[in-house]
Structure 1
Amino acid sequence: MADVPVPPSSLRTEGILLREIHVNLLECKVCFEKYNPRQKERRPQNLSCGHVLCLECVRALSHPVLEKLECPFCRQLCDVDSTSHCQALTDLQDLLLSRSPRSPVPHRVRGGSGWVGGLGSGALRLRSAFGGWGSLINPTGVAVFGSTGTLVVVHDGERRVVVFGPQGRRLHGFGRRGRGHGEVCHPVDVAVTPSGYVVVTDAGDGAVKVFTSRGSYVLAVWDSFQMPWGVDVDSCGHILVTDIQAGTLSQVVVDFARGVTLMNRAVITDLQRPKAVACCRVTGNIALVETLGLTTTQPPNGPRPTRLTIFNKDFNVLSQIDSFTLSLGASVWPCMSAVAFDRDGDVIVIDSQRGLIWSLGKLQNGPVLTPLVSGDLVRPVGLVATAQNTLIVLDSGDHAVKMYSVHSDAILVQK
């Protein structure tokens, strides 16, 4: 299929603005349903604190006797009787519908060898979402238990690690807030070993902590870590950890049955604020994202440049690319903050600044910058690409987990 040309910058800017309006203004931030003034339960309601919820969520959150509710965003106590219909949002919704705005079609920015069978084969469509404020609080990392579809998320709740079923039902939580035995202070990322152990990076405690799938404490690794950040596990069960402060990527080998650390060594040093790390289950390659310092040509309040490096399983560099190089052919500045591999070994990255998910293809063949998700996201922070061709995105802005898959005719459908 021939490449589709990049849309003009004005259309791109308009599309980003419309996406922000739809995601941040025209849907309830508790149930994630679109406001609908023609459906009573979905009408936007003003609270006395100024925040807006749909009528159904106002009723669900209110005390049945006191007829008061605590705003889920600012915690102010509001009278249910004082809520009113938010006419401004209704008018905005009607205006956008009457305009029928155009949105950019999914496109490839650079040449490649055509669409592939992984997630890069077309635009992705939102299939389901779960979580929301209260169920998840400022989540930062997500992982999947093998082929079962069970998810584990780390967040800022009282129990720092939460396990969800494939359909989003909360199963259990563990890792109470704290620095004691089996507790988690400030979790950043999470991974699951092939044998089902849960590995959490605790930046607040400067440790990597391991639990069973049911939440039983196994061990903690403190040696050499200053501020552990990203984590993933290779097919052998070896743990890879980035240290944002020490500037290292470490490999940790654990005897999980005995709860003993067999090896902990820095395999790559002199990195610049390394954050995300991901292992490819197909090739064994490792992807690493660094946050670079600002250059003299960049505004101090602009997005920081990032660099993505692909290593082989022996930690030799295979390819490398940074934000500036990607921007030359795309007229955008991708701010890479998280990374994953799909089932075909293609690299997928999060652009948290714009709320976008990009496929880069196989970097060894030259990057092919393809937008996969260009809507529905507020501040994506973590992602997992499953063997079933589902992309699981952790959206910290919505405190939610969102699942995407390839739409059969997504190439022809505008987002």
Structure 2
Amino acid sequence: MELPWGMLLLLVLSVSSSSSSSAAVATLAVSAPPPAPAPRHAQDAEGLLINGNFETAPRKLNKTLIVGRHSLPGWTLRGHVEYVSGGPQPGGMFFAVPHGVHALRLGSRASASQNVTVRPGALYALTFAATRTCAQDENLRIAVAPSLSAPADVAVRTLYSGASADTWAWGFRASSPVAQVTFANPGVQEDPACGPLLDAVAIKELPTPYPTKDNLIKNAGFEIGPQVFKNSSVGVLLPPKQKDTTSPLPGWIIESLKAVRFIDAAHFSVPEGQYAVELVAGRESAIAQVIRTVPNRAYNLSFAVGDAKNGCHGSMLVEAFAGNVTQKVPFESAGKGAFKAAGFRFVASGVRTRLTFYSSYYHTKASDGVSLCGPVLDQVKVVPLPVKA
């Protein structure tokens, strides 16, 4: 049956119009950007990873042993990993779990991993609580892959904070949009269950600090640093031998054999601002920074020294080095959070000058005689002095 010409024309126009509309809709659908996925590490106000405090229980347990690589929500496990509760344990041990109730115990060659969304080229700090669970020394290995930072081992002891679990920070620079964060026990013990306790894993992106026209020091007041948990009163330990490019304290080198402590004003006495550094292990606890200078130009270095109001009493002495000048700054601590200003003049011998600070003496808290403590350093400043005509 033939359609009238007018009806045929209307049909063609209708189909053409419908096709054009569909094409337009299709074009719009293709060109619209997909919604950005939520960063996997931005799950908590304190930066905790997914189930970073391990309070969501595994799907399958054999007593305390986690059964199945993917049984623990948010994590991939390898080897002998136990899901433990804090407090007294069978055999007379005591597990310190500072954040919540539960933690992971990583046995011989065991590990726990999680993928996180990061920004390539950016610097991040991982904050985590850790302690040993057996009589021998234990290490916790932190690795991020892929990244521009090599894996590192943290010596896990109850040396710094006495009977409490220490909180640590470790820095890395991301090299891809997704990074696998892994915590592992690199050792092998007679008891395969022996290994470090891991708790409260958080991540924080750190901005890059720069010197200013008024101060040649980067991150002069230590205001840029790792995540500090609101309910933690032990500060955050910064591991030794950290380069400034990947240090969890941007701009600063942790060049000593032992850690320094990053402290916050909510739990400690801080000379100015919200954060400072406590030199907790004498000459084995030192920080440094290399600044740009003009050869033969004179500069003034100033800084604040005090105590953290954390039970650290006695005669303290901070030594500061700049170029070929050394200054010893004594401070008598009554444990009340006092501080004093110090400074000296130095002449640069080259285009780079290294500044170093450490505590000359070793101190422990008066309350237990075990927990390491020391003088507080803050508000480091270097300014060039006027050139004489």
TM-score, normalised on structure 1? Answer: 0.22
Rg: which structure is higher? 2
Which has the larger share of helix? Answer: 1
TM-score, normalised on structure 2? Answer: 0.23
